[in-house]
């Protein structure tokens, strides 16, 4: 898993993940963990069986792949917000111009950052929190409880 996680999460800071994508990542992670840990011999029936999801979580004792991606996304958001790069400022702060396509609006990266911050217990104003680097990094890793 040490070699696979950086490969699968490369550039994940900028991904606008949908529910479908999140489900695919969770299924992939469990599949890899089942390959790594292998089957388990049941003590009562003395037969081999596949490990359950809860057993895999107990064995791994680390955040799952979605929590890792959320943490990386929040770290990158704080870095980009504090950055002095004018191009990043334009991309983060400017509203797009032009005609919007028909249908539901696409999920924006900034919407996911706001959702992640509120999930971890932070306030709704993530830009103000991101300006405090140490507090932001602590909140990204442990939550704002």
What does the chain come to in residues? 145
Asked if residue 145 has pLDDT above 60, the reply is: no
- State percent of the chain over pLDDT 70: 97
Mean model confidence pLDDT for the chain = 85
Positions of E strands within 26-77: 40-41, 48-49
Looking at residue 4, what is its pLDDT? 81
Looking at residue 8, what is its pLDDT? 84
pTM for the whole structure:
0.79
CA–CA dist 77, 136 (Å, integer): 10
Q: Which of 61-65, 76-80, 93-97, 103-107 has the lowest mean pLDDT?
A: 93-97
């Amino acid at each position: 898993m040490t070699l696979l996680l950086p490969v699968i999460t490369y550039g994940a800071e900028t991904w606008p993940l949908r529910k479908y994508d999140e489900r695919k990542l969770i299924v992939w992670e469990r599949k890899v963990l089942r390959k790594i840990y292998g089957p388990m011999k049941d003590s009562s029936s003395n037969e081999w069986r596949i490990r359950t999801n809860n057993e895999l979580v107990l064995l791994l004792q680390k955040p799952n792949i979605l929590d890792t991606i959320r943490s990386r996304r929040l770290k990158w958001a704080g870095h980009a917000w504090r950055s002095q790069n004018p191009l990043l400022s334009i991309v983060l702060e400017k509203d797009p111009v032009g005609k919007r396509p028909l249908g539901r609006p696409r999920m924006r990266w900034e919407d996911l950052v706001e959702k992640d911050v509120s999930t971890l217990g932070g306030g709704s104003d993530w830009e103000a929190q991101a300006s405090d680097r140490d507090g932001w990094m602590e909140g990204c890793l442990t939550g704002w409880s």
